[in-house]
C-alpha cells in the first residue's frame, strides 16, 4: 500500500462520514440535547452523591456539574460510536461495505479509516459539548482542555471500535435499537460517569462497584476526568488503549474481505 493510496482512501472514507454529518446539522443538536439534559436537570435533582445534597447551596450544584462533565463527554462519544455502527449496518445492507472491503487496499486500513472518521465526529461533538457547558457556567482551564484532547480522541476510538464490533454481529437494522440499549445503558450506569467509585463501595453496592472497576467506559471517563485537571492516569489510559486495540482486532476478524459481510463462525467453519 503506497502512502498516496492510503491517504486517498482515508480522505474518501473518513471524508464521507464528515460530509454526511455536515449535511445533517440536526445531528449535532440531537447529540448535545441528551447530555445537556443530564447536565442541567439530573445534577439539580440527584441527592447524596458526595455525602451531601446536590441542591442549594448553589456552589455544591456547580461542583457536581463539573464532576459530571467527563462522564457526559463519554456519553457523547458512546452514542456517536453506536450511531457510526448503525451506519455501517446500513452500508452493509446496501452493499457499500462489500465494495469498500474488496478495494485493493488492506482490510485493516479500510476499517481504520471508518473508525477515524467516526472518532473525529465524536471529538467534534465532545468539544461542542464543552463549549455548551462553558456557556452554562463551567470553567475549565484552556491549557487542560488542550492537554485532554488526545485522551478524548483515545476514548472516542475505543467506543468507535466497540461500535465496529457490534456492526459485525447485528444482521439487520431492526435489531440494532435493542442491541444499543443492551450496550449503552449498562456501560454508562455501571461506571463512574454519574457517581464516584468510592461512593459505590461506601454504600455497600459491592457488585456494582466490582463491575464498574472492570468496565472500560469507567476507565475512559476517569482518564478524561484526570486529563481535564492536567494529569495522566496511566492505568486507565492503558486499559482504554488495550480495549480499543482488542475491539478493532475483533472487528477486523469479523469482516470477511471477500464478501464484505460478517463471518458466521471461525475461519474454515461451515
Please determine, for residue 132, whether its predicted confidence score (pLDDT) is greater than 60: yes
Residue 239 located in a structural domain: yes
Lowest mean pLDDT among 75-84, 218-227, 230-239: 75-84
- Reduce the DSSP state of residue 78 to 3 states and report it: helix
pLDDT at 43: 67
Residue 52 lies in a domain: yes
| Residues 48 and 154 sit within 8 Å (Cβ to Cβ) | no
Classify residue 222: in a domain, yes or no. yes
Q: Is residue 101 part of a domain?
A: yes
Give 255's strand partners: 262
Which of 42-51, 155-164, 180-189 has the weakest average pLDDT? 42-51
Whether pLDDT at 54 is above 50: no
Residue with cell 481535564: 228
The pLDDT score that the predictor gives to residue 166 is 85
Tell me if residue 53 falls in helix, strand or coil.
Answer: strand
Q: Is residue 259 in a domain?
A: no
Tell me, yes or no, whether 199 lies in a domain. Answer: yes
| Mean pLDDT, residues 129-149 taken together | 90
Q: Using one digit for the tens of pLDDT, what is the confidence trace for 231-264?
A: 999 999 999 999 999 999 998 888 765 544 444 4
Cβ within 8 Å of residue 229, ≥6 positions away:
144
Q: Are 40 and 68 in contact (CB under 8 A)?
A: no
**DSSP 8-state assignment for residue 57:** S
Q: What is the share, in percent, of the chain residues with pLDDT greater than 90?
A: 28
Residue range 42-57: average pLDDT?
A: 51
**262, part of any domain:** no
d(CA 85, CA 11): 19
Which residues, in sequence order, are bridge partners of residue 53? 47
Out of 41-55, 196-210, 236-250, pick the least confident.
41-55
How many domains is the chain built from?
Answer: 1
Q: Are 192 and 221 in contact (CB under 8 A)?
A: yes
The confidence band for 39, taking pLDDT boundaries of 50, 70 and 90, is confident
Range of the domain at 95: 3-254
3-state secondary structure of 195: coil
The secondary structure of residue 233, as a DSSP letter, is -
Mean pLDDT, residues 192-212 = 81
Confirm if 183 and 162 have CB atoms less than 8 A apart.
yes
What is the C-alpha to C-alpha distance for residues 26 and 252, in angstroms, rounded to an integer? 31
C-alpha to C-alpha distance for 55 and 130, rounded to whole angstroms:
23
My answer on whether omega of the bond before 57 falls inside 30° of 0, hence cis, is yes
Greater model confidence, 227 or 82: 227
Q: Residue 258 has what pLDDT?
A: 53
> Mean pLDDT across the stretch 131-136?
88
pTM: predicted TM-score of the whole model, two decimal places: 0.82
Residue 192 domain flag:
yes
Report DSSP state, residue 2.
Answer: -
Closest CA to 130 of 114, 141, 119: 141
Among 13-27, 64-78, 160-174, the minimum mean pLDDT is found in 13-27
Amino acid at each position: 500500500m503506497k502512502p498516496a493510496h492510503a491517504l486517498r482512501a482515508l480522505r474518501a472514507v473518513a471524508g464521507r462520514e464528515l460530509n454526511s454529518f455536515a449535511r445533517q446539522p440536526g445531528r449535532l443538536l440531537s447529540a448535545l440535547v441528551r447530555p445537556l439534559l443530564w447536565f442541567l436537570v439530573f445534577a439539580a435533582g440527584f441527592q447524596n452523591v458526595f455525602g451531601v445534597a446536590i441542591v442549594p447551596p448553589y456552589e455544591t450544584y456547580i461542583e457536581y456539574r463539573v464532576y459530571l462533565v467527563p462522564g457526559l463527554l463519554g456519553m457523547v462519544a458512546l452514542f456517536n460510536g453506536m450511531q457510526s455502527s448503525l451506519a455501517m449496518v446500513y452500508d452493509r445492507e446496501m452493499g457499500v461495505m462489500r465494495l469498500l472491503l474488496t478495494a485493493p487496499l488492506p482490510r485493516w486500513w479500510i476499517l481504520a479509516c471508518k473508525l477515524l472518521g467516526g472518532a473525529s465526529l465524536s471529538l467534534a461533538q465532545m468539544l461542542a459539548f464543552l463549549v455548551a457547558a462553558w456557556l452554562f457556567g463551567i470553567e475549565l482551564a484552556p491549557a487542560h482542555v488542550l492537554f485532554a484532547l488526545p485522551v478524548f480522541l483515545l476514548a472516542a476510538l475505543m467506543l468507535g471500535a466497540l461500535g465496529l464490533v457490534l456492526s459485525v454481529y447485528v444482521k439487520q437494522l431492526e435489531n440494532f435499537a435493542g442491541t444499543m440499549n443492551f450496550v449503552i445503558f449498562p456501560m454508562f450506569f455501571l461506571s463512574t460517569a454519574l457517581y464516584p467509585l468510592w461512593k459505590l463501595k461506601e454504600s455497600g453496592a459491592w457488585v456494582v462497584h466490582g463491575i464498574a472497576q472492570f468496565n472500560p467506559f469507567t476507565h475512559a471517563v476517569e482518564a478524561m476526568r484526570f486529563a481535564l485537571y492536567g494529569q495522566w492516569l496511566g492505568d486507565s489510559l492503558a486499559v482504554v488503549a488495550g480495549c480499543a486495540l482488542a475491539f478493532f482486532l475483533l472487528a477486523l476478524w469479523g469482516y470477511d474481505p471477500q464478501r464484505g459481510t460478517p463471518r458466521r463462525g471461525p475461519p474454515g467453519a461451515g
